[in-house]
């Protein structure tokens, strides 16, 4: 299990539907990348437990440009009053993928 804390800026990707993300900084992304083969469930996606403020949820980090990005659900953004451009403090826990342990 790997626990990480970092801060990052919320940004928006505009596709067919907008998505909101926080980029995991280089140092933390590299730590995750070193353990990726034990963590991913495919396509480089890394399952994580996340907390921002008082809101905690499960999601998966997405690989992007040599780093990872954390998707922010609308419910999380609403609950915490988060907006694009805002800097947030993120706590996440990465653990080995249960499917890979079998």
Q: Work out the percent of the chain whose per-residue pLDDT is above 90.
A: 70
Judge contact between 61 and 17, C-beta under 8 A: no
Count how many domains the chain has: 1
Burial (0-12, 13-18, 19+ Cβ within 10 Å), 80:
middle
How many other CB atoms are there within 10 angstroms of residue 55's CB atom?
16
Selection from 26, 28, 22 nearest residue 9 by Cα: 22
As a whole number of angstroms, the distance between CA 80 and CA 26 comes to 25
Judge contact between 12 and 18, C-beta under 8 A: yes
Query: Domain limits at 49?
Result: 2-101
- pTM attached to this predicted model: 0.86
Q: What is the pLDDT of residues 23-64, one digit of tens each?
A: 999 999 999 998 888 887 777 889 999 999 999 999 999 999
How many other CB atoms are there within 10 angstroms of residue 42's CB atom?
9
- CATH number (domain holding residue 62): 2.40.30.100
């Amino acid at each position: 299990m790997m626990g990480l804390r970092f801060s990052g800026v919320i940004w928006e990707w505009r596709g067919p539907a907008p998505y909101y993300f926080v980029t995991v900084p280089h140092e933390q992304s590299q730590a995750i990348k070193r353990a990726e083969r034990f963590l991913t469930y495919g396509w480089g996606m890394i399952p994580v437990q996340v907390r921002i403020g008082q809101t905690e949820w499960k999601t998966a980090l997405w690989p992007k440009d040599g780093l990872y990005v954390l998707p922010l659900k609308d419910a999380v953004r609403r609950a915490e009053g988060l907006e694009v451009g805002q800097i947030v403090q993120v706590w996440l826990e990465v653990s080995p993928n249960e499917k890979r342990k079998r």
